[in-house]
A and B are shown apart, each in its own frame.
Chain A
Amino acid sequence: MLDAILSYEFLQNAFASGLIIGVIAPLLGVFIVVRRLSLIADALSHVTLAGIAGSLYLSQSVGALALLNPLYLGIASSVMGSMLIERLRSVYKHYEELAIPIILSAGIGFGAIFISLAEGFSSDLFGYLFGTVSAVSRQDLFIVAGIAVIVLAFIRIFFKELFVLSFDDEYARASGLPAKWIHFLFMIVTALVIAGSMRIVGILLVSSLMTIPVATAMRVAKSFKQTIWLSILFGEISVLTGLVAAFYFDLAPGGTIVVTSIAILLVILAYRKISLSKKRGAAA
């Protein structure tokens, strides 16, 4: 495997991007899960689909845009989607959750129109939906690396504020933290991570890489920081195992990554159950 990675640039790009995504998706995912925003990640990934499909259609129909990387329009639509969700949440103050199905269905709706206009699925689009090992370009890798720099800087700068906001939103506002602005930036960074992760995991499965490793970590972690480190560890194991399996068995990496992360979750759940029943047995 190592020989193949060293020999082929596309594998270097895929594994390097995977390693980066394995860190940033679960890292941001911890905050998404504890803030109960998991469905927002799903909505944004579907909005990204509209951007990607739109870009693929434009590259077919407008000659000047033939070489445009679809990631750019995917990122733009994801960020726009995050802002629209926030706008709708303020419009429907008593039904904030309505914003998610509205934006999610808008994303699928526009995506379906662009896919139809482009006359059906192309192999490119399949790669964006379920991830790809072979089509990750050096440019994609640089975009993912750029997003990672933004995410890591954001978390480092606002870690304490994000923690307080995630734990107790009302307390954060009462203590004078700029909760509204930090939440707004958080949504934009989330949109960036979703758009950046989809090249490897795919649009339809990107939210699972942000939530399943976190769900696994929460079963064993004893503190918030431990939850973060374990989520990253489980995320990295899932991405690397999933990419190797995808390469050898010629499968979509999104599928292999997500199935690996679910396997880890099941192992941890079984381990917890066994250790709990052992404890109960010892106590009885």
Chain B
Amino acid sequence: MAAPLINIKEVSYEYEQTKALDHISMTVEEGDFLAILGPNGSGKSTLLKIMLGLIRPSEGRVELFGIDSRQFKHREWIGYVSQKSNSFNSAFPATVQEVVAGGLAKKAGLFHKLPKNTSQQVEEALDAVGMKSFKNRSISELSGGQQQRVFIARALVAKPKVLILDEPTVGIDVQNVQAFYDMLAALNRERNITLVLVTHDVDTVTDRISHVACLNQTIHFHGFKDQLHMMSDEKREAWYGHSVRKIHHTEGSHTHA
């Protein structure tokens, strides 16, 4: 049996003497569409940053593709899309094409130029997110939703096996959130890209994901989304910190916080 793409083993993280994560263990298998859910301050983004190697855990370790994350060299296999407003300079003078081509920097390698077919690869990635016609537009002219699609194209251009997204719909208007998650589901289904997503859009995302992890310093549930309704009320309350209503949809059983 192939090793999980991401294997988190007993990971803890302390920030200024406050425990953000407490002995987290979970795996992400090929083809999964995993949503990590939890209240504000539950450690969701911290867990993603540990997966990405942006911060080191205080305890435990992470394996990527069966290799300890500290020794893992193929970062281009893992695409990353951060919260829109987090690190990107919104007035940056660059075209969409230039931004997406930046996604090939690691794959091309240090001391090497971008490949000759960069333009074609960029167009393909933009096509996958429905933004091909915007390639010559300035990134600062686009709406929040369009910018996030461009950032997904930047992650896709290196043909990653896993895409990690940290609250990608922050700043996107409600009407476009549905279409955004449809696009992610299509990438998961049609291109077999494994997706790990931190989100608050529980209502919108539930129909599209395959797995759920309920996090609040520790993992309260991790498994198929269809098993989430089996989580007891006590466990659900312990996870979210206050009472959570369980709503049953006619087409299935989903839990909404």
Select from chain B the residue with minimum beta-carbon distance to A172: B105
B79–chain A nearest beta-carbon distance, Å: 8
Q: Which of B86-118 contact A (CB under 8 A)?
A: 86-89, 92-95, 98-99, 101-106, 108, 110-111, 113-114
A-B residue pairs in contact (CB < 8 Å), sample of 23: A160-B102, A161-B110, A163-B105, A164-B102, A164-B105, A168-B87, A168-B88, A169-B87, A170-B54, A170-B86, A171-B154, A172-B105, A174-B53, A175-B76, A175-B106, A221-B93, A222-B136, A222-B138, A224-B92, A224-B94, A225-B98, A226-B93, A227-B93
Binding site for A on B (CB under 8 A): 52-54, 73, 75-76, 80, 82, 86-89, 92-95, 98-99, 101-106, 108, 110-111, 113-114, 136, 138, 151, 154, 158
The SS class assigned to the A binding surface is helix
Q: Which residues of A contact B138 (CB under 8 A)?
A: 222-223
The answer to whether A223 touches B87 (Cβ under 8 A) is no
Q: With an 8 A cutoff between CB atoms, is A271 at the interface?
A: no
Tell which of B87, B110, B114 touches A171, judged by Cβ atoms closer than 8 Å: B87
The answer to whether A170 touches B98 (Cβ under 8 A) is no
The answer to whether B80 touches A167 (Cβ under 8 A) is no
A34–chain B nearest beta-carbon distance, Å: 6
Q: Which residues of A contact B114 (CB under 8 A)?
A: 160
A33–chain B nearest beta-carbon distance, Å: 9
Select from chain B the residue with minimum beta-carbon distance to A227: B93
Q: Which residues of B contact A171 (CB under 8 A)?
A: 80, 82, 87-88, 102, 151, 154
Tell which of A167, A178, A218 touches B99, judged by Cβ atoms closer than 8 Å: A167
Binding site for B on A (CB under 8 A): 34, 36, 157-158, 160-161, 163-164, 166-178, 217-218, 221-227
B227–chain A nearest beta-carbon distance, Å: 31
A163–chain B nearest beta-carbon distance, Å: 6
CA A223 – CA B96 in complex, angstroms? 9
The answer to whether B92 touches A176 (Cβ under 8 A) is no
Given A164-B102, A164-B105, A167-B88, are A174 and B94 neighbors across the interface (CB < 8 Å)?
A: no
The answer to whether B94 touches A178 (Cβ under 8 A) is no
The answer to whether A174 touches B95 (Cβ under 8 A) is no
B93–chain A nearest beta-carbon distance, Å: 5
Q: Which residues of B contact A161 (CB under 8 A)?
A: 105, 110
Known: A160-B101, A168-B82. 12 other contacts (CB 8 A): A160-B104, A160-B114, A163-B98, A164-B102, A168-B87, A170-B54, A174-B75, A175-B75, A175-B103, A176-B53, A222-B95, A224-B98
CA A163 – CA B101 in complex, angstroms? 10
A191–chain B nearest beta-carbon distance, Å: 22
Q: Which 8 A-B pairs have the closest CB atoms?
A: A176-B75, A170-B87, A224-B94, A174-B80, A164-B102, A160-B105, A223-B95, A174-B52
Q: Which residues of A contact B106 (CB under 8 A)?
A: 175-177
Q: Which residues of B contact A172 (CB under 8 A)?
A: 105
A216–chain B nearest beta-carbon distance, Å: 12
Q: Which residues of B contact A168 (CB under 8 A)?
A: 82, 87-89, 102
The answer to whether B108 touches A223 (Cβ under 8 A) is no
The answer to whether A163 touches B102 (Cβ under 8 A) is yes
Q: Which residues of B contact A175 (CB under 8 A)?
A: 75-76, 80, 103, 105-106, 158
